[in-house]
A and B are shown apart, each in its own frame.
Chain A
Amino acid sequence: MGKMLMKGNEVLGEAAIHAGCKYFFGYPITPQNELVAYMARRLPEVGGAFVQAESEVAAINMVYGAASAGVRVMTSSSSPGISLMQEGISYMAGSELPAVICNMVRGGPGLGSIQPAQSDYFQAVKGGGHGDYRLPVLAPATLQEMVNLMGEAFDIADQYRTPVMILGDGMLGQMMEPVEFIDRPKRDLPPKDWATTGTRGDGAPRTITSLFLDPAELEKHNERLDAKFKKIAENEVRYETFLTDDAEVICVAYGTMARIVRNVVNKGRANGLKIGLIRPISLWPFPTKPFEDTLQHAKAYLSVEMSTGQMVEDVRLAVNGKKPVYFHGRAGGMVPTQEAIMKTIEEILGGVLV
């Protein structure tokens, strides 16, 4: 196909189709509407199905049904809609159903705004729905990375039988960049012999449920899920470091924010400032290794976010009190400027911030 100039939300759709997704159930919400429209147009062309659900609650439950029938299925929404989907996400985690959910985050809480934000970090990585479960969350920073991570997201979902979230924001959804849909190495995935597709005479009936009335049985189920999440935490960590080898102040940022911070790092380096960037790509599992690797020489860490400070808590856990951790952020759909971030870094380096 070669390189094509595409809009972020449409890239998500085409990337999903490229990854073998033929089913999409969704409900309109700005700033991800182009994705819903794209799937409505494209899925019939590839022999799949699209349904505009009556609500996000219904959409995620249609995803639940399609996933239980053993196919690759996706939904997408933005913050208020994702809140409504939490019931279904918890049920899918409990019933071990694979699917991909895209959240193109906008400012909140409540109806908030339609501007890009990163204020759904807690909801994405710390649960969101009820019960003992974890949600693998992948955060692309470029449209090409959206393509690559979409395949990974579906593979992780299928390998571990779990819903997976792609966490973007309104800006990534709306921007245009050249992308290429290249085949990636396929994982060796287990057969979906658990799917409820009608037995067709090939064995005993199968059941998909998250109900375990006996507490001892539910505890066993929770422990099994936990062991699975530990395996994901071991094997599915993704991050990128940029000029961290000798850095004294290490910024931590993901997604759209990481693009901006990268420019700050480049500018600072040009002026002789020893600064670098850790960019978590998997937000859960959160990468701890780049922190361990840099603790020796780093003087401080700075979490930069489009929120009032959420990921900073995970940065603090990773640093574990060994070095100071600072925060710089804007909220409500406002985006931190390069100048303001640079000023904070200079204050840290100058010993102004303690």
Chain B
Amino acid sequence: MSLEMQQVFKKTEGLTDKITHYCPGCTHGIIHRMVAEVLEEMDVLEETIGVASVGCSVLSYEYFNCDMTQAPHGRAPAVATGIKRVLPDRMVFTYQGDGDLASIGMGEIIHAAARGENITVIFINNAIYGMTGGQMAPTTLVGQKTTTTPDGRMANKQGSPIRMSEMLATLDSVAYIERVSTHDIKHLRSTKKAIQRAFETQKRELGFSMVEVLSTCPTNWGYDPVESLEWVKENMVPVYPLGVFKQMQGVE
């Protein structure tokens, strides 16, 4: 019997060797890995420009093994627009949290989508501001306690959660929008498929594509990693139903 070892699993080329700063149990890391794998599998790493946003993923430019530009808080879709208009044959994506995309950057995301900008947006919805220490996000659930909703978010005082995927899917120029989740293996598989489809959509020049990924923030939610996954499934999925919200003809 040969003692030669066979490699059955390895780190993706799409990520650098840098050790990430994400908290234990945070699903930012898993989502990074899936985005990187897709770019590697599509063999487009060398023609990809990623746009990092502001939030816990602000340092993602150190983790993705492709050219990266770091954008001001919320402005990633505008920065990506500038890049894509100059380099229409490159793969351009943004990686944005919910505070970034649905609060300060609400204008930029709606209009990039309305223009049908041929970019891919990876939208991380963890229902809270992670980096700044657990304040309310536009996606925070009704009743959810955060440092700025100490009694739990009340719809009549702090408003109700914004469903970005549903909202953006109403725009005619949007090519593909799907909401996925990271709470178990089955859903991770569909997350990767959705990311693949989103980048394929861009490659086929069909227009704006976005994947909303339900993600965890054990640190600011105050649950352990396993409880956090459970919390996504029990509390987030009912408010943020999974599925495809827009799929233009030609998207596969």
Which residues of A approach B to under 8 Å, CB–CB?
Answer: 23, 25, 49, 51, 53-55, 57-59, 61-71, 73, 87-88, 91, 95, 196-201, 205-211
B61 touches A69 (CB 8 A): no
Nearest residue in B to A196 (C-beta to C-beta)? Answer: B67
A54 surroundings in chain B (CB, below 8 A): 107-108, 110-111
Binds A, one of B22-30, B82-90, B183-191: B82-90
B86 surroundings in chain A (CB, below 8 A): 23, 49, 65-66, 69-71, 73
Contact with A along B54-65 (1 / 0, CB 8 A): 000011011011
**Nearest Cβ distance between residue A255 and chain B, in whole angstroms?**
29
Contacting B75 at CB < 8 Å: which of A23, A25, A68, A88? A88
B210 contacts chain A at the CB level, 8 A cutoff: no
B51 contacts chain A at the CB level, 8 A cutoff: yes
A65 touches B66 (CB 8 A): no
A198 touches B47 (CB 8 A): yes
A211 surroundings in chain B (CB, below 8 A): 58-59, 70
A62 touches B85 (CB 8 A): yes
A200 surroundings in chain B (CB, below 8 A): 46-47
**Nearest Cβ distance between residue B14 and chain A, in whole angstroms?**
11
Nearest residue in A to B82 (C-beta to C-beta)? Answer: A65
B91 surroundings in chain A (CB, below 8 A): 198
**Nearest Cβ distance between residue B221 and chain A, in whole angstroms?**
24
A198 touches B48 (CB 8 A): yes
How far apart are the CA atoms of A197 and B67 in the complex, in Å? Answer: 7
Contacting A196 at CB < 8 Å: which of B45, B68, B111? B68
A95 surroundings in chain B (CB, below 8 A): 69-70
Q: List 12 A-B contacts (CB under 8 A).
A: A49-B85, A54-B110, A55-B107, A61-B78, A64-B71, A65-B80, A68-B69, A198-B46, A198-B67, A198-B91, A199-B67, A205-B66
Q: Which of B52, B69, B91, B111 has the most CB of A within 10 A?
A: B69
Which residues of B28-58 have CB atoms within 8 Å of chain A's CB atoms?
Answer: 45-49, 51-52, 58
Which residues of B approach A to under 8 Å, CB–CB?
Answer: 16, 45-49, 51-52, 58-59, 61-62, 64-72, 75, 78-87, 90-91, 107-108, 110-111, 115
Nearest residue in A to B75 (C-beta to C-beta)? Answer: A61
**Nearest Cβ distance between residue B59 and chain A, in whole angstroms?**
8
A59 surroundings in chain B (CB, below 8 A): 78
How far apart are the CA atoms of A198 and B92 in the complex, in Å? Answer: 9
Contacting A57 at CB < 8 Å: which of B66, B68, B70, B107? B107
A67 surroundings in chain B (CB, below 8 A): 82
A57 touches B61 (CB 8 A): no
A68 surroundings in chain B (CB, below 8 A): 69, 79, 82-83
How far apart are the CA atoms of A73 and B81 in the complex, in Å? Answer: 13
Contacting A88 at CB < 8 Å: which of B67, B72, B90? B72
**Nearest Cβ distance between residue B108 and chain A, in whole angstroms?**
5
For the complex with contacts A64-B82, A198-B67, A205-B16, 7 further pairs of A-B residues with Cβ separation under 8 Å are A57-B108, A61-B75, A66-B83, A69-B82, A95-B69, A205-B66, A206-B68
**Nearest Cβ distance between residue B72 and chain A, in whole angstroms?**
5
B85 touches A199 (CB 8 A): no
Contacting B82 at CB < 8 Å: which of A61, A198, A206? A61
A58 touches B75 (CB 8 A): yes
A64 surroundings in chain B (CB, below 8 A): 69, 71-72, 75, 78-79, 82
Nearest residue in A to B76 (C-beta to C-beta)? Answer: A61
B66 surroundings in chain A (CB, below 8 A): 198-199, 205
**Nearest Cβ distance between residue B85 and chain A, in whole angstroms?**
4
Given contacts A54-B107, A197-B49, contact A210 B82 (CB under 8 A): no
B85 touches A51 (CB 8 A): yes
B49 surroundings in chain A (CB, below 8 A): 69, 196-198
B87 touches A198 (CB 8 A): yes
Given contacts A65-B80, A205-B65, A209-B70, contact A58 B108 (CB under 8 A): yes
A87 touches B72 (CB 8 A): yes
A198 touches B69 (CB 8 A): no
Contacting B61 at CB < 8 Å: which of A62, A63, A201, A207? A207
Nearest residue in B to A201 (C-beta to C-beta)? Answer: B46
A58 touches B107 (CB 8 A): yes
B72 touches A208 (CB 8 A): no
Given contacts A51-B81, A53-B78, contact A205 B67 (CB under 8 A): yes
B69 surroundings in chain A (CB, below 8 A): 64-65, 68, 95, 196, 207-209
How far apart are the CA atoms of A51 and B83 in the complex, in Å? Answer: 12
How far apart are the CA atoms of A59 and B65 in the complex, in Å? Answer: 28
B47 surroundings in chain A (CB, below 8 A): 198, 200
B64 surroundings in chain A (CB, below 8 A): 205
How far apart are the CA atoms of A71 and B85 in the complex, in Å? Answer: 11
Nearest residue in B to A67 (C-beta to C-beta)? Answer: B82
Q: Which of B48, B75, B107 has the most CB of A within 10 A?
A: B75
B68 surroundings in chain A (CB, below 8 A): 196, 205-209
How far apart are the CA atoms of A131 and B62 in the complex, in Å? Answer: 23
A210 surroundings in chain B (CB, below 8 A): 70
**Nearest Cβ distance between residue B207 and chain A, in whole angstroms?**
15
Q: Which 6 A-B pairs have the closest CB atoms?
A: A65-B82, A61-B78, A196-B67, A209-B70, A62-B82, A66-B82
B111 surroundings in chain A (CB, below 8 A): 53-54, 58
A57 surroundings in chain B (CB, below 8 A): 75, 78, 107-108
How far apart are the CA atoms of A3 and B82 in the complex, in Å? Answer: 34
B61 touches A65 (CB 8 A): no
